[in-house]
Structure 1
Amino acid sequence: MEIDSKTRNIILSTVVALIVLLIGVALWRQSRTVAPEAMSIDVTPQAGATAETTATPAASVTATLAPNAQEQAAASPSPNSCTNNAAFAGDVTLPDGAEVQPDTATVKTWRIRNTGTCTWGGDYQLRFAGGDQLGGPDSMAIGTEVAPGAEFNAEIPLVSASEAGRYQGQWIMADPVGNSFGQVVYYEIVVPGTPAIAY
C-alpha cells in the first residue's frame, strides 16, 4: 500500500508531536524545579523517514536541562556527600489522643531516629509543617549532634487551645538551609469540654 506525500507528512508530524509531548511530560515529572527558559528541545526529522517502513523513531530528539546549583551538587556527589533522612521512633510525651486542659502549657516530645548518612549538627531543626500550631515555634534547632543510626528527643513547647476539641499539628526535620526531609511527626491532643455539674 502506497501512502501519498500529504498523508505521510501528517503521520510524521503527528509522531513527532507525540514524541515531543511524551518527552516534555517525562522531563516535567523528573524535575519540576527547572525553569521553562532553562529547558530546550530540538526536534529534527530524519531525511527519508516513513511511518510504515522503519522501526526507528522518525525524529531525533535532544533535551538539555540547565540544573540549578543545588541539583548540580546532588548530581555530582563529592566524597563528603551524604543523605538526610529521619524516622519516627516513638512518642515520649503526649501520646495520640492525650487530654490536655484548656490554655495549658505543655511540651510534646518525640523520639526521632537519624536514618540517613549525614550527621545532624545542632543547627538542624524541627520545623512546623501544618495543622494546629498551638503556640509552638515555627522551627526549633535540635541543639545536639545526631549520628546516622542514632536517636534523639525532639521537644516542642505548646499551649493547648481555649476551646474544646481535637487538635493536631505536623512537624518535619530540616537541614541548616531549610530543606525538609524524613517522616512527618505529629501531635494529637484533645481539649476536653466544660465538665457537667452534677446536682
Structure 2
Amino acid sequence: MSGFRMYKILGVVIAIALLVPACGPSEPQEAVISTAVAQTVQAGESLTEVASLEAAVPTSTQTPEIASTEVTVTPASTPTGASVAVAPADPNCVKASLVTESPPDKVILRPGEYFWKTWTLQNTGTCTWTTEYKFVFWSGEIMGGLVSYALPDDVAPNEQKDITIYLQAPATTGTFTGYWRLQTPWESDFGVGQYSEDIYVQVVVSDAKKLKYSATSVTYEHVRNPPIGCTTNVRHTIYATISVDGPAELDYHWMQSDGNNSGTKSYDFTEAGSITVSREWMIGKGDSPNPRWIQIVVTEPKYQEFDKLPILNPCP
C-alpha cells in the first residue's frame, strides 16, 4: 500500500473518531437535563412570584444598591375560625317586651303530657335580632326542651316574633316553672320589660281522675283619653285579659267602686287560653277626686275576685 493511500485512510479514521462524541449526549447528561426541567416546572407552579422576581434581577456584574423594602405576607386563605362579635355601645340596643303567651301560665296538664308553648315577643330595642341570637334555657324545670334555640328569622326594632318550643310536662304532680332568656351573639343575655325579667313557662301537673279548670289570672291595661290634661270629660278604657288553665265555661262581670257594675258575661273555653275584654268609664271634670277602682269578678266555674285597678281623677 502506497504512503499516500495510507495517509487517506488514517485521515478518515481520525474524522470518524471526532464525530462520534458529537452524535448525542451521554446518559448522565440526559439525567441532569431531565431533572432541571422537572425542577423548573415545579418552581413555576408553586413559586410564580419568586420566579418573576428572579427574572427581573439585572445581569450586570456590578453589585446593585439594595433599597429597604417593607414586605407584607398575605396568606393564601383566611382562617375559618369564628369571628368574635362586639357588643354595641348603645345601651338601648337589646330590649324586649312580652306581648302574649299561649297556653297561659298554670295550665293543667297530665304527667308526661307534651305541649307547645308560644311567647310573642316585641323587639323594643334599637338593634335587629339576627339569626345569631338565641332563646336559651336559664333555670328551673327544662321540661324536655333544648338548652338553646336559634331565632329562625331576623326581628327588626318594633317588630314582633312568635317563639314556639315543644315541651313535656314532668312525670310527677305539682307546679313547675322553667325560666328562659334571649342571648346576643356576644353572649349577653336579656329578658323582657323594664327590668329585663326572665321569660317563663309554668304548668300544673295533676293525675286527678277529673281535672277542674278555672281562671288563673287577670291583667289590666288602662288607656286614658286624652292622655293628659283636664277636659270636660275624660274617657277611661280598661282592658282585662282573663286566662284559664283548661276547658271551662267562664262567667264573669265588672265591679266598680261607684256601684255601676256590669251584668254577667259568659265565655266558653275549649282549651287553656285567654280572652281580652274591655269597659269604659267616663269621669267628668267636676266629679269627686276620691280614688276609684274597677275589677273583674269570676263566678263560674268557681267564685274568684281578682285585683282592683285604681282609677285616679286629678281634675276635680
Per the TM alignment, residue 70 of structure 1 is displaced from its structure 2 partner at its CA by: 8.8
Residues 112-127 of structure 1 correspond to what in structure 2 (within 5 A)?
112-127=121-136
Q: Percent identity?
A: 30
Gaps of 5+ in 1: 1-68
Deviations 1:53-110 (A, max 9, x none): xxxxxxxxxxxxxxxx999x655x7xxx97111111111x220111111111211100
Separation (CA, whole Å) in 2 of partners of 1:70 and 1:126: 17
Match status 1:182 vs 2:191: yes
Match status 1:150 vs 2:159: yes
Residues 22-171 of structure 1 correspond to what in structure 2 (within 5 A)?
83-91=93-101, 93-171=102-180
Separation (CA, whole Å) in 2 of partners of 1:182 and 1:138: 16
CA contact (8 A) 2:85 2:185 kept: no
CA contact (8 A) 1:165 1:193 kept: no
Separation (CA, whole Å) in 2 of partners of 1:100 and 1:123: 33
Separation (CA, whole Å) in 2 of partners of 1:159 and 1:182: 23
Separation (CA, whole Å) in 2 of partners of 1:74 and 1:152: 22
Q: Which amino acid aligns with 2:115?
A: T
| Count of residue pairs the alignment pairs up | 122
Q: Which amino acid aligns with 2:164?
A: E
- Cα-Cα RMSD: 2.4
> Which one has more relative contact order, counting CA pairs under 8 Å at least 6 apart?
1
Q: SS where residue 204 of structure 2 aligns?
A: strand
Separation (CA, whole Å) in 2 of partners of 1:74 and 1:124: 14
**Aligned residue number for residue 312 of structure 2:** none
**Aligned residue number for residue 205 of structure 2:** 191
Gaps of 5+ in 2: 1-83, 193-197, 211-316
Separation (CA, whole Å) in 2 of partners of 1:82 and 1:143: 23
Q: SS where residue 191 of structure 2 aligns?
A: strand
Separation (CA, whole Å) in 2 of partners of 1:90 and 1:84: 19
Residues 123 and 70 from structure 1, CA distance in 2 versus in 1: closer, same or farther, beyond 3 angstroms?
Answer: closer
Q: Which amino acid aligns with 1:161?
A: P
**Aligned residue number for residue 16 of structure 2:** none
* Higher-Rg member (1/2): 2
Separation (CA, whole Å) in 1 of partners of 2:186 and 2:130: 12
Per the TM alignment, residue 178 of structure 1 is displaced from its structure 2 partner at its CA by: 2.2
User: Which runs of at least 4 in structure 1 moved beyond 2 Å after TM superposition?
Assistant: 193-196
- Give the structure-1-normalised TM-score: 0.56
Separation (CA, whole Å) in 2 of partners of 1:131 and 1:161: 12
CA contact (8 A) 2:183 2:190 kept: yes
Separation (CA, whole Å) in 2 of partners of 1:180 and 1:141: 14
Q: SS where residue 144 of structure 1 aligns?
A: coil
Q: SS where residue 125 of structure 2 aligns?
A: coil
CA contact (8 A) 1:129 1:170 kept: yes
Deviations 1:132-158 (A, max 9, x none): 111111110111110100110011211
